[in-house]
A = this chain, B = another copy of it.
Amino acid sequence: MAVAFHDVTAARARLAGVAVRTPLLQIPAANEAVGGILLIKFEGVQREGSFKFRGAYNRLVQLTAEERERGVVAWSSGNHAQGVASAARLLSTHATIVMPADAPQVKIQNTLRLGAKIVFYDRATESREQIARRLCADQGSVLVPSYDDPHIIAGQGTMGIEIAEQAYDQRCTIDQVLVPCGGGGLVAGNAIALQTLTPQARVYSVEPLEFDDTARSVALGSIQRNRPEARSICDALLTPEPGELTFPINRLLLAGTLAVSDDEVRAAMVFAFATLRLVVEPGGAVALAAALTGKVKTKGVTTVVVLSGSNPDPAMYCQILSNR
């Protein structure tokens, strides 16, 4: 595997005092809803409101002085953009982000506020990868992938260390962990950390129904792409296929793969608002949706759900709240 447990502990040392150690919350009404113990890892209070800062900072803090001068380039629909921009600001380097023109406005604004430069592209006609690689060639910048990079995966894995420690502090033995999955970096990192720290815990990826590339790839044993016409409200999870590095890790370590519909995601966002009193975006709510709809048995067991991102567009958010 491209990433070992010691890479995750090294990332944790780099992130100490910089990233937020986000809370693992236990809320009685959530326990009642699933008929077991539900531990909620809330990344909404992470820097820039999603887990992405973890991996981005772990990559950027390892740039050489020359690389820092030339800056970094990333592509992202929003949360990785903000994570990279935030890490770049803290480390006094500059970031250029290639974003789809239809990215949520709130994510565009936050990325700009953090001092990054944005280059927009058209999802339908242009290749973000080509644009990013050209920028890197022109500026001599370092490309920061959103998931298929050992430093990124190790950074996301710091969440798994926190989950294991916090569950222990709460005298809970974890039976299963449900993690939102786009390219698979977060779930891979968590699986690596948890395999060592709490090996009885079964780790599941959770994807949008039409973007279940990791599920199909794991089932078939080779990388499978999503159909180009696939759609979901989970803008943070619309990756075309699993990564070259994340796929072998997830294939080896995941106990299973789950998928949820957009309507199940909407219901989970309303539950988060009304019962957990936490703000969560569609892509960040898929693991909660899986737990609430019984995609795995939650009765009588201890389940961790990761709320991975909390940057919803306010208008979309309110539309979902008002249709409940």
Contacts and interface: CB of A to CB of B under 8 A. Distances in A.
A277 B274 contact: no
A305 to B, nearest CB: 14
Interface residues of A, number: 29
A200 B321 CA distance: 43
Contacts of A64: none
A44 B277 contact: yes
A26 B273 CA distance: 21
A104 interface: no
Interface in A273-293: 273-274, 276-280
Contacts of A47: 28-29
A26 B318 CA distance: 27
A45 B106 contact: no
Contact of A45 (B27, B280, B318): B27
B321 A277 contact: no
Nearest to A90: B28
Contacts of A221: none
A310 interface: yes
A280 B310 CA distance: 15
A310 B278 CA distance: 9
Contacts of A45: 25, 27, 276-278
A115 interface: no
A25 B47 CA distance: 12
Interface in A39-82: 44-45, 47-49
Given A318-B318, A318-B322, A277 B310 contact: yes
A23 interface: yes
A277 B49 contact: yes
17 contacts: A20-B26, A20-B28, A23-B25, A25-B45, A27-B45, A29-B47, A29-B48, A44-B278, A45-B277, A49-B277, A278-B279, A314-B321, A314-B322, A317-B318, A317-B321, A318-B321, A318-B322
The 7 closest A-B pairs by CB, nearest first: A44-B277, A318-B318, A277-B310, A277-B279, A23-B23, A314-B321, A27-B45
